[in-house]
Amino acid sequence: GPLHAKAEQHLMCEEHEDERINIYCLRCEAPTCSLCKVFGAHKDCEVAPLPAVYQRQKSELSDGIAMLVAGNDRIQAIITQMEEICHTIEQHVGLRFDALYGILEERKKELLQSIAAEQEAKLQRVRGLIRQYGDHLEASSKLVESAIQAMEEPQMAVYLQVLPGEQGEKGTGELGLRPEPGYENMDHFSINVDYVAEMLRTIEFQTGAKPLGEDEGDGPGDGSEATTDEDRLDSLEVPEAAEGGCTP
């Protein structure tokens, strides 16, 4: 534009004050005038017209800026992709651990149900025994009352006829009223989860990547499938075989 042209009119050579700077020394990478090329410091240098060098450098600068912009766009795309990948991985890990929590809660529920079932069965039997004890106590009270009355019998023959039957009734009533020793023991419900806890503490990511040069025979068409991120994240799930530490 006019401003640029006006600025160029003031670019005069310091060595030759009347000469306008109109060429560019390629070796010294500096603008100069024609007399400097013919008689001065740049007489042995290769020069080019100043407008041509200006346009070339301007074009190179524009290309460089375009490359920087493109590179910045690529870097930004990589950053965005990395953020999306990390977010997906975090979500997947969260789901895997939620699944573990669910497995633990379900197994805990099953074990507690087993304990409750056996507890209820034993309590039912104990309640039955309590009823039997009550019945036996009532029968014993009647037996005692009968024995007292029998002791008042003045006729020995009548007393001896009544006493054996009452004793037999007493002996029969005592049968089967006591639970076996250790009936209240519930030690078989103890559980050991130390090995499961250790396994949970050592959960790690498994990339499944093979070192360079390993299994070189593998490749497309050999029937093998590439390990995906989904497959690798699936390895975080704890096998169901390790859920419980006891058998109810």
Q: What percent of the chain has pLDDT over 90?
A: 30
Give domain status of residue 30, yes or no.
Answer: yes
Q: pLDDT class for 164, splitting at 50, 70, 90?
A: low
- The answer, yes or no, to whether residue 197 has pLDDT greater than 50, is yes
In sequence order, the β-bridge partners of residue 47 are: 25
**pLDDT, position 177:** 63
Mean local confidence (pLDDT), 20-30: 84
In sequence order, the β-bridge partners of residue 20 are: 12
- The answer, yes or no, to whether residue 4 has pLDDT greater than 60, is no
Give domain status of residue 29, yes or no.
Answer: yes
Interatomic CA distance for residues 235 and 231, integer angstroms: 7
Interatomic CA distance for residues 198 and 200, integer angstroms: 5
Interatomic CA distance for residues 211 and 215, integer angstroms: 9
Cα end-to-end distance, the chain, whole Å: 94
Task: Choose the weakest-confidence range: 116-130, 195-209, 216-230.
Answer: 216-230
Torsion angles phi and psi, residue 25, rounded to 5: -80, 120
Give domain status of residue 121, yes or no.
Answer: no
Q: Check if the beta carbon of residue 80 is closer than 8 Å to that of residue 54.
A: no
| Burial class of residue 42, CB neighbours in 10 A (0-12, 13-18, 19+) | buried
Query: pLDDT of 96-121, one tens digit each?
Result: 999 999 999 999 999 999 999 999 99
Query: pLDDT of 206-224, one tens digit each?
Result: 876 454 444 444 444 444 4
The residue segments making up the domain with residue 25 are: 11-45
**pLDDT, position 75:** 97
CATH code of 34's domain: 3.30.160.60
- The answer, yes or no, to whether residue 241 has pLDDT greater than 50, is no
Give domain status of residue 17, yes or no.
Answer: yes
